[in-house]
Structure 1
């Protein structure tokens, strides 16, 4: 029995030694693997850092950041939003902010892409790239068309608290930031603009709010010696739709398309509302408050020239005209102000906002975090938005930027733009929008010329639209 116990103990001892030796062997192999790996990577004492060239140029036309960076991000923007722009003030701001961000992120480089300056071509290409997965990590998208991209845009809620999101104007959130299908934040609005009423407050102390007031005040100005009661852009261009027709049509509650993207502006109540808008313009021309020659106003400079010549004290024009007016009017600019587009009733407010958003398409979590941070620093964060909008002459879309930054808080024009845009509605993100707009412009011009009645103009425009999309 003792011999058996000893034999058993010997066997157990051998097994323990064998187990210990195996453990030691495994440990040795792990250490050897680790040492070999470290040696191959440059040694444990060396920290793995990205090499930064001694004479690095952090921002070049086709690259932002360290050329040796292991992480590459891509983004696409309009030339005027790019550091490649020829506008000196924009180039200086963008280059400075981009360089600051790049120096803080030496492991990242960004490759910029420039979008087509043709809106229709741009949209078509962006949709194709999004569908095929060849689109840049971040892309500047016209706010009007963001919903067309929701299926491909990546959620970015984790980068913006609920408080941050609430800082944007309500219409930004509902129209082109939050996807109604899943409630996720899919884009951030960068800036905006709108067409409203520019007026000389020394002769128009209370800007007209209704169509009747618009015509009444216009006649009073003519009695005071002004050649025109009011003016607007009349040459065939999106400015007709954006500034002279659709704000009033939307104020009446009109719809251009239905939920299936089918044009309905020439049917039923929508037809009646567009006819009413055309009737207002017909009346303005017939009563001599605005001239038929507005059809020759083809650019912003024409409107500014009329204001400078004091041929009018009211005109419908873009908020972006502020800097041009200041340059041309000089000290006379102190007399001018900006208000909402007059509507069919004085208690109705409606503006159409323009502007761009930034949408994010990369599915790589790290790249998404980095590109969102970059865009916030340059364009969309509070400091970024304040810096970019003040430099480029745009209107910010975050409440805090208006409230906290002197450049906006103390600028009565920017305050007026912000107040006007509190009630706004985007043009529809319809694939047929450009066709609709083109034919509505033609109809409006025919009414101004007296070539068609408002009813005829609407019916003709609508039929042309239907014929073209079939």
Structure 2
């Protein structure tokens, strides 16, 4: 064979080997000419050599029917996928039943069958610490400091080993909505609630103070536990055993119930709050001007805007009133993104994807804006116009900066159910605060035995 032809042949052979073997080594794969980067059940190149899985609620996925959410997620996911053509992601949609979801996730974590990343209720993240992969190397100290302190304490940093085990995505809370034209100085203490409520009624308002009262988690989440936690009360001990009906905890819950009992007996809170079962009922009271202040979720903003129109400008949001004005305490809702991928390459990629879409500063700002949630990183409130220039979001951020999650105990739902019932009995005058607490605690203990 001619020497020059042999050289060319060897060069071509080497190139072919590098193309076939080298690309295979790096994991790159062919990208179809007519590729659709984001479909309902896939994000990324269908021919990608690396497959990642992640589990999210339907409303947090690009499968959602809410246009603003779908548009943001689809666009953001497509951008990431185009930059990572060797990767495809397969979404897994979580059950919309909270108890069922938690039970299944715990089973999957224990058996090693969990997705590479999963959305977990922030309240329950500590239950998964033993299975979660540390992600400290993916966040600088400055980035970590950007989260609210309660996020890190309650669900991000494992106290056993000090490792970062999750990234809180967003939040919401129940606080005091009030009409500034009628309530220029919102009440911060229980005594002030009674005083301002009576003044409102003297000025023509039918109700002094309202809250969601139909049996639902929102009673516990919004009307009882923020005040109980503000007094330093604990629902369970370190082992998860219910203790809210014992000793100082009993006394503190009785104090909370006594406030509500007093508010009803003095005519500030009507017994008909037990008929308030949805956000629309509270928004209607605001529109009809039968109430000028009530406890409601930060998520009520869109409903109030729809009902009040331009009159929303006279409304504002602040902390849940406590026994003393010096106490600040909220209960946060929301989810964390937690990571289970043991393979280093997969962990690198799934963390990067989640930072880009949900938990990085840009991702969190875009997602919370599109979805109507409250961010949990301080820089998002300070640096992004959609939050920096929105007085409601600024109010939500200020209020939620001091918070405490509900306990991750498996008995929590049982506790909540019986406390809701006790609170309703106090509102109706069927039981004294002492009787209501003792009955709720007895029922709780009987049910968990």
User: What's the CA shift for 1:131?
Assistant: 0.3
2:7 corresponds to which residue? Answer: none
Any residues of structure 2 matched to 1:148-163 within 5 Å, and which?
148-163=127-142
1:174 corresponds to which residue? Answer: 153
Superposed CA offset, 1:167-189 (max 9, x none): 00011011110001111000000
SS of 2:53's equivalent in the other structure is strand
Among 246, 250, 262, which residue is 2:241 paired with?
A: 262
**Contact 2:56 2:93 survives alignment (8 Å):** yes
Do structure 1's residue 334 and structure 2's residue 334 form an aligned pair?
no
Superposed CA offset, 1:277-317 (max 9, x none): 11111111111101111101111111111111110000000
- How many Å separate the matches in 2 of 1:84 and 1:351? 32
Do structure 1's residue 425 and structure 2's residue 411 form an aligned pair?
no
**Contact 1:38 1:44 survives alignment (8 Å):** no
Superposed CA offset, 1:82-138 (max 9, x none): 111111111111111011111111100000001111111111110000000000000
- How many Å separate the matches in 2 of 1:202 and 1:222? 15
Among 263, 271, 274, which residue is 1:284 paired with?
A: 263
2:231 corresponds to which residue? Answer: 252
- How many Å separate the matches in 1 of 2:240 and 2:345? 37
Runs of 4+ with deviation above 6 angstroms: 43-48
2:331 corresponds to which residue? Answer: 352
Among 164, 170, 178, which residue is 1:191 paired with?
A: 170
User: What's the CA shift for 1:236?
Assistant: 0.5
Among 295, 302, 310, which residue is 2:274 paired with?
A: 295
Cα 1:454–1:61, aligned 2, differ >3 Å: closer, same or farther?
A: same
SS of 1:150's equivalent in the other structure is helix
1:13 corresponds to which residue? Answer: none
RMSD: 1.8
Among 43, 52, 57, which residue is 1:78 paired with?
A: 57
Among 229, 243, 254, which residue is 1:275 paired with?
A: 254
User: What's the CA shift for 1:49?
Assistant: 4.0
Unaligned runs of 5+ in 1: 1-31
- How many Å separate the matches in 2 of 1:77 and 1:44? 35
- How many Å separate the matches in 1 of 2:377 and 2:445? 39
- How many Å separate the matches in 2 of 1:41 and 1:333? 62
1:449 corresponds to which residue? Answer: 428
Deviates more, 1:160-169 or 1:50-59: 50-59
SS of 1:69's equivalent in the other structure is coil
Unaligned runs of 5+ in 2: 1-9
User: TM-score, normalized by length of structure 2?
Assistant: 0.95
- How many Å separate the matches in 1 of 2:423 and 2:22? 75
User: TM-score, normalized by length of structure 1?
Assistant: 0.91
**Contact 2:57 2:94 survives alignment (8 Å):** yes
Among 73, 80, 94, which residue is 1:94 paired with?
A: 73
Do structure 1's residue 237 and structure 2's residue 224 form an aligned pair?
no
SS of 2:131's equivalent in the other structure is coil
User: What's the CA shift for 1:326?
Assistant: 1.0
